Amino acid sequence: MKHHLSSSFSRLMGCGFLIGFAFFSAALAAQEQWQPWPDDTFASSCPESVLPDGAVARLGTRRFVAPGIVVWMAFSADDRSLLSVDFESGQGEAFFLRAWDASVGSQTGVWTFPRDEDAGEILVAADPASRVLAVRHGKTKVLLWDLVQHKALKVLETTCPPTCLKFSHDGKRLVMGTEEGTAEIWGVEKGERQATLESVKEPVSGIVFSPDDRVLIFDDGGTVATSHRLDNSGWRDALRISVRRGFTELAVSADGAHLGIDYSEEHFQIYELETGKHVKTIPSDADRARAGFVVALRAVPEGFDCVSHDGILGARLLTNHAEGSGTSTSRMSVHRLGTTVPPDWSLGHSDGIWDVQFLTDRNTVVTHPMFFDHYLVWDLANRRVRRVRTDHLMATAASPRVGDFVAAERFDSDPIWPDTLDILDYRSGKTVQVAKDDEFPRRWSTYSANNGMLAYVNPEERAVCCWDVQKHSLVRRIALDAEGCWDIALSWDGRQLAVVGDRGQIRFWDVPSGQLVLNWEGDRKKEPNSLPGFFVDFWPDGRHLALADYHGTWRIRTIPSGRVVARIPGGGGHTAIAPDGRFTAIPDREGNIRLVDVKACKILDCGVRHAGGMDVLVFSPDGKYLASAGWDMTVLLWDVERLKQMAADREKARRPTSKRCLRRSRGVPLAPLGRWPG
């Protein structure tokens, strides 16, 4: 059975990603060492990781997972917590300050900062002691927040929009660079503007203090660095140094005598602060460190984004992006410095989860992270995980499962579109069959796989190709008409093929003979629900076809009559069908999971949810387990029999409330699966 999310959605989401991925050179398929199960050592002390009732295992961990795009991280003043600021993609009207227990990764607090719609660029800064946070609150407003008592202190209003924020080393001053090329100095305690320093009229992009906080340097967009000194009469203009555009950082030496300008990987230039004279250019970070330059009071080791005040712990931001579903998720990690840092993937998924598959031994689960060159293999019996790296594009519609193998795209000669289709061994990631151009024409779009048969669409030749994976041969090439193709499905025995046209018509072919055996014509005016944009799949019995539209409703039709015999609300393309066809699993936007007893025509309210929402639902081959892949970067494995019992208990507790039944379709009697007409 195919994974419904892997057709229409991936075509819409994947186009922009393909171009970027084409220029990414991934390593060849390689297995890495097994790592212990990431959530078995702290579940009892981390509330977010305690399994909900009905779940038997969690693949991955919810440690340090923020439901937003993280823009700032730092350790608290007492180093017991990791602090982060994030916002939700597409919902930038608020920031969220989160506190995490640094030892176990559970969220211990969250506070919301309102943000004006016209606030502009996101600006966040904290004093070195992690006691005061500054967040751009509006177009010309900056909010000061007490990180110890977690309360608002002041709202500072600048004369023009700020472009960068910087605290002095002692935390007593906050400097705001502005769009007009000025630097406004504010006293943190009283929230009063102390001085406004002028430069040329270009936006300020960088600010740095000397270690004693008596020299302040800022630039005007990357052409001139202006130095100001603090004496008894206040801040005075010391000198201006012309610099080349393209630098990434300003730094002051530990003795306060030299200014360093970092041009990323190119070089690092050093100037005298008293005279502005260029001293020398050094090539590397190592030389920079030997030259006595520091960016902050605590040096941050390579690979880490911040360190604790006592220098024992380091924090890393592993993943930070917006999901295709409109949500955004970030993962952080905390490690003891000086010890071996485990690989990022040993924590589970460092990205969203695109697909979940059970292998035939029933003790192995494979998960596909979004937009990555690898997948994870989970050994359920031994509670361990391993990453398999591959140079194939695993995150598109090109990953339907055929037994313990997977069909995957890769870039060969075409730099823009994947032009080769291979069959990989799921356990090792090795290619067991290489596609040939005459057998797998380029730029296919839609896939379906069942019972050792793989079907794919070649939009250029307007044909569906059916490939026998076991025999390594092309079985059938079926030409499409001018209406094109929106989605396809193979029956569970691999002998029937259903093709949804762009106008909503559905046509059935017998794969062995290649004959068109049935045609359901669509009509946009008469059947608005049959418009392109829905998913299609065969019911396990082969006598019914399931159609899911973008509104989240399944319509089950008999073959060959086409009569709608049942409607299942909710879930849409995320709905899973059990191997015996008796149950389906449907989620809602909040992540609640419900089972539908198709034979009894009843929705079973299990009262369970995958917190935060989910993208994927998949039944195991024996139907005993249900996997849900959530936006929290974890996969939950549910005991289906336990879910049924929980639903029965909830229904018994609600009696004598009437049973919840599926909606009947107009004029069509609702009957159990075994007696459906047709």
Residue 272, token pair as written in the block: 């005298």
Residue type at 502 in one-letter notation: D
Residue 254, token pair as written in the block: 């530990």
Residues 439, 441, 442, 443: what is their CA dihedral angle, to the nearest 10 degrees? -120
Query: Kind and range of the H or E element at 548?
Result: strand 544-548
DSSP 475-493: EEEEE--TT--SEEEE-TT
Q: Determine the CATH number of domain 1-29+398-538.
A: 2.130.10.10
Q: How far apart are alpha carbons 619 and 626 in whole angstroms? A: 4
What is the gyration radius of the CA atoms in the chain, in angstroms? 30
What are the residues whose beta carbons fall under 8 Å from the beta carbon of 184, sequence distance 6 or more? 158, 159, 162, 175, 176, 178, 193, 195, 196, 197
Contact 613, 589 (CB under 8 A): yes
Q: Cα 157 to chain center, whole Å? A: 36
DSSP 128-193: TTS-EEEEE-SSSEEEEEETTTTEEEEEEE-SS-EEEEEE-TTSSEEEEEETTS-EEEEETTTTEE
Q: What is the DSSP letter of 664?
A: P
List, for residues 235-283, the tens digit of each pLDDT value.
Answer: 888 788 877 666 667 888 878 888 888 776 567 788 888 888 888 887 7
pLDDT for position 75: 94
Domains 1-29+398-538 and 63-245+294-336 share a fold: yes
- Count Cβ neighbours within 10 Å for each residue of 407-445 and write b for 16 or more, e otherwise: bbbbbeeeeeebbbbbbbebbebebeeebeeeebbbebb
Tokens 């094109």 locate to: 484
Q: How far apart are alpha carbons 637 and 624 in whole angstroms? A: 10
Q: How far apart are alpha carbons 377 and 383 in whole angstroms? A: 11
Q: What is the DSSP letter of 661?
A: B
Beta strands in 491-582 (DSSP E): 496-500, 506-510, 515-520, 535-538, 544-548, 553-558, 564-569, 576-577
- Tell me the three-class secondary structure of 386-409, residue by residue: EEEECCCECCCCCCCEECCEEEEE
Neighbour-count burial of 538, counting CB atoms closer than 10 A to its CB (0-12 exposed, 13-18 middle, 19+ buried): buried
Residue 202, token pair as written in the block: 């270009």
Contact 486, 501 (CB under 8 A): yes
Tokens 């057998």 locate to: 439
pLDDT for position 115: 73
Q: How far apart are alpha carbons 489 and 678 in whole angstroms? A: 20
Residue type at 109 in one-letter notation: G
pLDDT for position 201: 73
- Count Cβ neighbours within 10 Å for each residue of 507-531 and write b for 16 or more, e otherwise: bbbebeeeeeebebebeeeeeeebb
pLDDT for position 446: 52
Q: How far apart are alpha carbons 408 and 398 in whole angstroms? A: 5
pLDDT for position 448: 61
Three-state secondary structure call for residue 4:
helix
Q: How far apart are alpha carbons 145 and 360 in whole angstroms? A: 54
Tokens 């499409």 locate to: 480
Q: How far apart are alpha carbons 271 and 292 in whole angstroms? A: 13
**What class, spelled out in words, does domain 63-245+294-336 have in CATH?**
mainly beta
Q: How far apart are alpha carbons 363 and 650 in whole angstroms? A: 31
Q: How far apart are alpha carbons 59 and 633 in whole angstroms? A: 9
Tokens 């879930």 locate to: 571
Residue 569, token pair as written in the block: 């609300």
- Count Cβ neighbours within 10 Å for each residue of 299-310 and write b for 16 or more, e otherwise: eeeeebebbbbe
Query: Kind and range of the H or E element at 22?
Result: helix 8-22
List, for residues 152-205, the tens digit of each pLDDT value.
Answer: 999 999 888 999 999 999 999 999 999 888 899 999 999 999 999 887 678 888
Q: Which residues of the chain have pLDDT under 50?
A: 1-29, 40-44, 295-298, 322-326, 395-399, 437-445, 523-533, 572, 657-678
Residue 673, token pair as written in the block: 């699966």
Sign of CA dihedral 110, 113, 114, 120: negative
Q: What is the DSSP letter of 102?
A: T
Residue type at 468 in one-letter notation: D
pLDDT for position 43: 45
Beta strand 635-639 pairing with 614-619? unpaired
Q: Minimal CA–CA distance to 429: which of 355, 381, 467, 375?
A: 375
Query: What residue ranges do the domains of the chain occupy?
Result: 1-29+398-538, 63-245+294-336
Q: How far apart are alpha carbons 27 and 274 in whole angstroms? A: 50
Contact 505, 517 (CB under 8 A): no
